[in-house]
């Protein structure tokens, strides 16, 4: 998957969003796509605009096209607007919530923490980043992992998000734990996306 190996800064510029804290300063300096023609490029067709929006949403959750399509299929069956349901569906992923809680600094680090078996849900180890957290689930860092450096940084608030923690989470960083209180509302979810364009991409 060549897309996964692209440097995050370059990918951030191509998509028009900062995907990591490190990318923010580079992106602010050069907020146009990479390459010599980056400044002059225009997104002409409706298809291109919708495709870019879908890629931006995918990149913010660091998921495959197949995972994205599956999430869209589930969102179609939900009540209310499909686009909002899609973002809520993605936000309930375990790796996304580990990031939002401040236990991880980036979605890539959150995914690694889950895959390497450092995270448990309601006392049971879960190593699938795509695990869908339900309201009242309690997510914690496993006892045996807590002395590792990244979790010591997290405990001191080193990865805490700018601004306030999303209201759908109850977080106790000192205990390296959080609970999903309820399903998120789209307006509370800190992703940059016009999800209606994503729905139009899949509905074409």
Q: What is the mean pLDDT of residues 18-42?
A: 60
Query: Can you give the pLDDT at residue 33?
Result: 55
Percentage of the chain surpassing pLDDT 90? 75
Q: Is the pLDDT of residue 81 over 50?
A: yes
Q: How far apart are CA 77 and CA 73, in angstroms?
A: 7
Higher pLDDT, 26 or 176: 176
HEC assignment per residue over 31-62 = CCCCCCCHHHCCCCCHHHHHHHHHHHHHHHHC
Query: Can you give the pLDDT at residue 23?
Result: 67
Query: Can you give the pLDDT at residue 5?
Result: 47
153 close to 102: Cβ distance less than 8 angstroms: no
Nearest residue to 9 (alpha-carbon basis) of 36, 27, 28: 27
Q: What is the mean pLDDT of residues 62-88?
A: 97
Query: Alpha carbon 63 to chain centroid distance?
Result: 9
Percentage of the chain surpassing pLDDT 70? 86
Q: What is the mean pLDDT of residues 55-60?
A: 96
């Amino acid at each position: 998957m060549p897309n996964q190996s692209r440097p995050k800064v370059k990918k951030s510029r191509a998509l028009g969003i900062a995907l990591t804290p490190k990318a923010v300063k580079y992106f602010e300096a050069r907020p146009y796509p990479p390459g010599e023609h980056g400044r002059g490029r225009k997104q002409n067709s409706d298809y291109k605009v919708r495709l870019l929006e879908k890629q931006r949403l995918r990149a913010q959750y660091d998921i495959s096209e197949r995972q994205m399509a599956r999430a869209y299929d589930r969102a179609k069956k939900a009540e209310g607007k499909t686009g909002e349901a899609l973002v809520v569906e993605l936000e309930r992923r375990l790796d996304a919530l580990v990031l939002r809680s401040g236990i991880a600094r980036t979605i890539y680090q959150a995914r690694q923490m889950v895959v390497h078996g450092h995270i448990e849900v309601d006392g049971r180890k879960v190593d699938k980043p795509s695990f869908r957290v339900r309201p009242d689930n309690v997510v914690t860092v496993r006892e045996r992992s807590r002395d590792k450096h990244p979790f010591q940084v997290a405990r001191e608030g080193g990865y805490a998000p700018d601004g306030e923690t999303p209201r759908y989470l109850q977080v106790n960083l000192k205990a390296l734990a959080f609970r999903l209180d309820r399903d998120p509302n789209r307006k509370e979810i800190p992703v940059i996306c016009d999800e209606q364009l994503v729905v139009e991409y899949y509905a074409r």
